[in-house]
Structure 1
């Protein structure tokens, strides 16, 4: 084989290797940018928790991916799906008369639903929420918020009315996004047909109104209001 042919082969092989390396690097998530894209608001929350140290936050998030990234969510049986949907509807309706109990039920429901989908069980809350953040980082904050409000309720710090009720209202609205994703994970971005109608049920009864009477509803729970609160 002539020297020219050998040189040509070497050049071709080198070009193929370089092209493969460039393709690999292009597809590989690039540190913070890849983690930010995957975790969404959870990325910013973790950076803030590390006092702005992005490197420390990224190490924590990368460890979560290592621990929970291979988790595969289990499908729900139709009967189980109906039961969870019924429980959420009941919690929304209960909010009218008993916001505290409704928030506590929403917290329990999300924990049970996540466990049924294959995430760590609800009694391992920190591990469960870490795993959820890997797969639902854009919505896991709603679960954190409703869980925090539920714990505050047991400590007697949440109030029926005023800011306490508003905080519970917002928590329920944010938690709904994660509930929907866990109910329909294969169809992300879909909007359940009855969501708008259901959200109007999530309002605390005005002071002085009689049981069973909806009357004026100053705290109607809609996503628009939650974002603007």
Structure 2
């Protein structure tokens, strides 16, 4: 066998090994990394941060969430039930002026109930509920986390009035998302988080300036 043939065989063998190694690594990587980033948005970045910058580990976690909750179909909310939820949220915002911590506790319960009404795990399984919400409402689920954390922190330590206000504004965006019927298909213009459209104001009696006032911080 000539030297040229031997060299050709060696090159071919190396190429085959390289291809096998590449395919093996590719098969082990989480699928759809770019799609995951598009789907989860800010939740993708939070997952990467939780894993100290390891995007592969973060994508495995997010892949697992999609496998667990991706097929969940949100139930519609009847108009009368939606009106009751909206009235309760308006009361939460009004209560915040005098009792911000109690208002956050009620907002936490209200979000849990609204999520359960849409078909997510019940509020008694908070972690599961948030995981499922992160798959379907990734843009706003962190507001729920902030409200829940502030509502369940002993004596509210570390949560000043302004922090609680911001948490409630963020949580409202998730609340509106949960109450929007057929949110993927409506194309309805949505007001930015923390603001109300004219129709929102007329329907719920919300005072748009409520969360733009300066409130002195408590203790």
Question: What is the TM-score with the length of structure 2 in the denominator?
Answer: 0.74
| Residue in structure 2 matched with residue 50 of structure 1 by the alignment | 51
* 1:181 equivalent among 159, 177, 184: 177
Residue 156 (structure 1) aligns with: 155
C-alpha distance in 2 between matches for 1:63 and 1:30: 11
Deviations 1:11-39 (A, max 9, x none): xxxxxxxxxxxxxxxxxx96221001000
Query: SS in structure 2 opposite 1:202?
Result: helix
In structure 1, distance between residues paired with 2:141 and 2:120:
13
Taking a change above 3 Å as real, the CA distance of residues 181 and 61 of structure 1, as seen in their structure-2 partners, is: same
- Native 8 Å contact 1:95 1:202 kept in 2: no
User: 1 CA distance for matches of 2:77 and 2:56?
Assistant: 37
The equivalences for 1:1-229 within 5 A come to 31-152=32-153, 155-158=154-157, 164-187=160-183, 189-191=189-191, 193-194=197-198, 198-202=207-211, 217-219=213-215
> Which blocks of at least 5 consecutive residues in structure 2 are unaligned?
1-29
Return closer, same or farther for 1:64/1:190 CA change in 2, 3 Å cut-off: same
C-alpha deviations, 1:55-89, integer Å up to 9, x for none?
00100000000000000000001111011000100
**Partners of 2:85 and 2:211 in 1: CA distance:** 17
What is the CA–CA distance in structure 1 between the aligned matches of 2:127 and 2:96, rounded to whole Å? 26
- 2: CA distance, partners of 1:158 / 1:185: 37
- Displacement of 1:43 in angstroms is 0.5
Deviations 1:122-154 (A, max 9, x none): 0000000000000011110111111111111xx
Measured on the aligned residues, the alpha-carbon RMSD in Å equals 2.2
Q: Are the counterparts in 1 of residues 108 and 147 from structure 2 also a CA contact under 8 Å?
A: yes
Mean CA deviation greater in 193-202 or 174-183: 193-202
What count of residue pairs does the alignment treat as equivalent? 174
CA contact (8 A) 2:76 2:182 kept: no
For residue 146 of structure 2, give the secondary structure of its aligned residue in structure 1: helix
Alpha-carbon distance in structure 2 between the residues aligned to 1:105 and 1:92: 10
Aligned to 1:14: none
TM value normalised by structure 1? 0.71
Cα distance in 2 for partners of 1:50, 1:126 equals: 18
Shift of 1:187: 3.6
Q: 1 CA distance for matches of 2:208 and 2:116? A: 25
For the 8 Å contact 1:92–1:102, the answer to whether it is kept is: yes
Query: Matched residues in 1 for 2:116 and 2:61: separation?
Result: 23
Partners of 2:31 and 2:48 in 1: CA distance: 17
